[in-house]
């Protein structure tokens, strides 16, 4: 009588288990060797709020140490692509954009267009597109052809060139990403805020106050010419019913553009406007009653822009209009940064440009 230790089927399962365990161990050892050699990166779930690989590489590799490997180069000069900087990661660019919108008042209310080059063009129809009425089954004769006007925003290169010592960059506690983003955004906001209001259009944006102006109404003025309304007194508002001119200013704007229109003035002018009252003693200016809600004047939002001129004889101290429809800001998609550790040793300069 024979004693059976294992049948054929059980032996096959044991052999498979032994082979499977050995194969898994072998694959695990190979994977560990590749990770240690840097062939592949260890895959771990990303934690909430952790910077992207591109941002960490840009900050720790390029900004702190000048390591240029794996970065996207952007041309800063028209002569050759070799004269270039590096596009900042989306995290840094987003901080710059948010700060610019918060600090630069005109950017927040204008039509900002992202472009890929400095040759942006916009076609505007003057007089609208002709149309006509016909019966349901009547012939459709050709309507008139609209007249197009090409608008070419003046372009120029805005730059910032903040510096930090190499000792600061080597300090791990120094948040170079936040420092650089805030420095660039603050300088850009100050410069572009002035240019959007009174820039001369030569290697910089054309400010709306630098555009031609006339007292004639719509349909008479050429396109690009702004309408002006005087207060009736030199360097001041009229002594009686001073707010009447504000009403005239609002009603001079065509009805389709009043929705979304805003007042723009500096704090000194706003201080004078806030004292205007109605016949029953109510203030025309209504301060904001909730966070994030703008103050209003005659039912329209008020934007403070310190680059607007004070009240004076012949000054254009108050602007009113729909800036989304009337003022275009064309800018490049990303900010570029060129690291310069040689010009001013021991400081490292970061030459940043967003083309406007």
| pLDDT, position 58 | 67
DSSP string, 54-122: HHHIIIIIIIHH---TTPPEEE-SSS-TTSEEEEPPHHHHHHHHHHHHHH-HHHHHSEEEEESSS---E
Q: Which of the 8 DSSP states describes residue 275?
A: T
> Phi, psi (5° rounding) for residue 8?
-65, -40
Q: What is the pLDDT of residues 264-288, one digit of tens each?
A: 999 999 999 999 998 888 899 998 8
List the single range of 30-39, 74-83, 101-110, 239-248 with lowest mean pLDDT: 74-83
Angle at 352 between CA 351 and CA 355, to 5 degrees: 135
Least confident of 39-48, 124-133, 168-177, 241-250: 39-48
**Would you state the pLDDT for residue 35?**
60
Confidence of residue 144 (pLDDT cuts 50, 70, 90): confident
Q: State the chain's mean pLDDT as an integer.
A: 78
> Is 143:339 a contact under the CB 8 Å cutoff?
no
Q: Which residues pair with 75 in a beta bridge?
A: 84
Confidence check: pLDDT of 172 > 60? yes
Residue 289 has pLDDT above 60, yes or no: yes
SS3 272: helix
Render pLDDT for 185-234 as a digit per residue (tens, 0 to 9). Answer: 888 888 888 999 999 988 888 999 999 999 998 878 888 889 999 998 88
What's phi and psi for 14, nearest 5 deg?
-65, -40
SS3 338: strand
**98 phi/psi in degrees, rounded to 5:** -65, -40
What is the pLDDT averaged over residues 242-248? Answer: 93
Residue 75 is predicted with a pLDDT of 45
Domain boundaries, the chain: 214-326
d(CA 168, CA 179): 11
Structure confidence at residue 29 (pLDDT): 74
* pLDDT bucket at 181, cuts 50 / 70 / 90: confident
How does pLDDT run across 45-96, given as a tens digit for each residue? 333 333 444 556 666 666 776 766 655 555 444 444 444 555 666 666 777 7
Helix axes 176-198, 90-103, angle to 10 degrees: 40
Q: Measured on CA atoms in the order 93, 95, 98, 102, is the torsion positive or negative?
A: negative
Q: Kindly report the length of the chain.
A: 356
Q: How confident is the model at residue 299 (pLDDT cuts 50, 70, 90)?
A: very high
What element of type H or E holds 122? Answer: strand 122-126
Nearest to 193 by CA among 127, 101, 112, 283: 101
**Pairing status of strand 319-321 against strand 262-265:** antiparallel
Query: For 106-121, what is the mean pLDDT?
Result: 81
């Amino acid at each position: 009588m024979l004693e059976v230790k294992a049948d054929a089927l059980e032996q096959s399962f044991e052999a498979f288990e032994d082979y499977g365990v050995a194969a898994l161990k072998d694959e695990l050892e190979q994977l560990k060797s590749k990770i240690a050699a840097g062939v592949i990166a260890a895959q771990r779930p990303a934690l909430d709020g952790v910077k992207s690989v591109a941002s960490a590489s840009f900050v720790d590799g390029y900004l702190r140490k000048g390591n240029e490997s794996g970065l996207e180069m952007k041309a800063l000069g028209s002569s050759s692509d070799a004269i270039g900087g590096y596009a900042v990661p989306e995290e840094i660019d987003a901080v710059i954009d948010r700060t610019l919108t918060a600090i630069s008042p005109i950017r927040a209310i204008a039509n900002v267009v992202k472009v890929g080059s400095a040759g942006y063009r916009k076609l505007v129809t003057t007089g609208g597109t002709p149309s006509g009425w016909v019966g349901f089954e009547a012939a459709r004769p050709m309507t008139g052809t609209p007249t197009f006007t090409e608008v070419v925003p003046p372009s120029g290169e805005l730059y910032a060139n903040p510096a930090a010592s190499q000792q600061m960059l080597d300090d791990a506690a120094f948040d170079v990403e936040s420092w650089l983003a805030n420095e660039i955004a603050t300088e850009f906001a100050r410069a572009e805020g002035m240019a959007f209001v009174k820039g001369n259009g030569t290697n910089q944006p054309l400010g709306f106050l630098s555009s031609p102006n006339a007292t004639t109404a719509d349909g008479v003025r050429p396109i690009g010419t702004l309408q002006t309304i005087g207060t009736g007194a030199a360097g001041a508002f009229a002594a009686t019913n001073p707010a009447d001119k504000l009403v005239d200013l609002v009603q001079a704007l065509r009805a389709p553009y009043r929705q979304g229109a805003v007042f723009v003035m500096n704090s000194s002018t706003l201080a004078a406007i806030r004292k205007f009252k109605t016949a029953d003693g109510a203030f025309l200016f209504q301060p904001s009653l909730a966070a994030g809600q703008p103050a209003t004047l005659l039912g329209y939002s008020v934007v403070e822009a310190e680059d607007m001129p004070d009240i004076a004889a012949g000054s254009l101290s108050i602007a009113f209009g729909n800036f989304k429809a009337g003022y275009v800001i064309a800018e490049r998609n990303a900010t570029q940064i060129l690291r310069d550790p040689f010009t001013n040793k021991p400081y490292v300069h970061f030459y940043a440009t967003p083309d406007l």
